[in-house]
């Protein structure tokens, strides 16, 4: 836990009872500096009663004294062992109202391209219920004909790292159960960092294939080599070729 309880009320108390600057209070309470300035001006947190962090065992007086003596000093929250792990998300993921209509498209994308994910994993990524996932898997959803699969990362429903971790966990689970995966499934399990580091595969072979009946002849393979200057300028004369043709003419 990096922030005090009732951070806005704590900021009100620090503004009223200390000479700390706005930046120090903002960094300690996890607020913006202008918001703390608004508290001092009376525009923000009007009517909020100050919450004493020293009396509630969240801050030592020594930290306040150091902060008042040094304007660049950053106060540290008092360590509370019972608050360890409080920032971890519990329960289903919260999805904003503006993005809830995109969840069926994300579920269909996960079901189609990552069938190894369980309903629980899909529910954690998208923030939905198992009956909705099962209805899309069985294509019994009321709007299944109008749903287009869309990547949940592109929709902003989850992060790419969360998707990669869920897929890798599903792979380890299948490997522990002894399930053999197909090549297509293995190809989908490549993480983002690995896929970005891969080189592009050549789309065409380096040597053109030779089709039956179209093999090059010996004359075509043994093309005249005129890379040498002497062989290029010592070509047979056209007059000599005509004389040879005249001698072999049967009409003479």
**The tokens 């007086």 sit on which residue?**
61
φ/ψ (deg, to 5) at 180: -90, 130
Residue 22, burial from CB neighbour count under 10 angstroms (0-12, 13-18, 19+): buried
Torsion sign over Cα 77, 80, 83, 84 = positive
φ/ψ (deg, to 5) at 242: -70, -40
Helix, strand or coil for residue 167? helix
Structural contact between residues 114 and 107, judged by C-beta atoms closer than 8 angstroms: no
CB neighbours of 166 closer than 8 A, spacing ≥ 6?
A: 117, 121, 124, 125
Residue by residue, pLDDT tens for the chain (252 residues) are 577 878 889 999 999 999 999 999 999 988 888 889 988 988 887 788 888 998 888 888 999 999 999 999 989 888 766 555 555 555 566 777 778 889 999 999 999 999 989 999 999 899 888 999 999 999 999 999 999 999 998 888 888 888 898 999 988 888 887 765 555 555 555 544 554 454 444 444 445 454 445 455 555 555 555 555 565 556 555 555 455 555 555 554
Q: Is 236 left (phi over 0), alpha (psi -120 to 50) or beta?
A: beta
Residue 49 has a pLDDT of: 87
Q: Per-residue pLDDT tens for 225-234?
A: 555 556 555 6
Total-model pTM: 0.42
- Closest to 147 measured CA to CA, from 197, 90, 105: 105
Q: Per-residue pLDDT tens for 199-218?
A: 444 444 445 454 445 455 55
Residue 185 has a pLDDT of: 55
């Amino acid at each position: 836990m990096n922030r005090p309880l009732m951070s806005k009320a704590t900021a009100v108390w620090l503004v009223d009872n200390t000479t700390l600057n706005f930046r120090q209070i903002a960094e300690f309470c996890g607020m913006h500096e202008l918001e703390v300035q608004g508290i001092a001006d009376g525009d923000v947190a009007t009517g909020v009663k100050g919450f004493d962090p020293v009396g509630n065992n969240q801050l030592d007086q020594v930290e306040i004294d150091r902060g008042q003596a040094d304007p660049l000093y950053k106060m540290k929250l008092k360590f509370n062992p019972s608050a360890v792990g409080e920032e971890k998300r519990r329960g289903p993921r919260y999805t904003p109202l503006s993005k809830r209509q995109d969840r069926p498209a994300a579920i269909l994308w996960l079901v189609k391209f990552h069938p190894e994910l369980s309903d629980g994993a899909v529910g954690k990524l998208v923030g939905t219920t198992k009956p909705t996932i099962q209805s899309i898997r069985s294509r019994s959803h009321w709007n299944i004909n109008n749903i287009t699969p869309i990547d949940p990362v592109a929709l902003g429903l989850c992060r790419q790292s969360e998707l990669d971790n869920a897929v890798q966990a599903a792979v380890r689970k299948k490997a522990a159960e002894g399930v053999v995966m197909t090549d297509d499934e293995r190809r989908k399990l490549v993480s983002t960092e690995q896929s970005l580091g891969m080189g592009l595969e050549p789309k065409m072979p380096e040597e053109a294939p030779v089709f039956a009946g179209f093999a090059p002849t010996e004359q075509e393979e043994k093309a005249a080599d005129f890379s040498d200057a002497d062989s290029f300028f010592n070509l047979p004369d056209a007059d000599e070729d005509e004389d040879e043709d005249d001698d072999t003419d049967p009409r003479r």
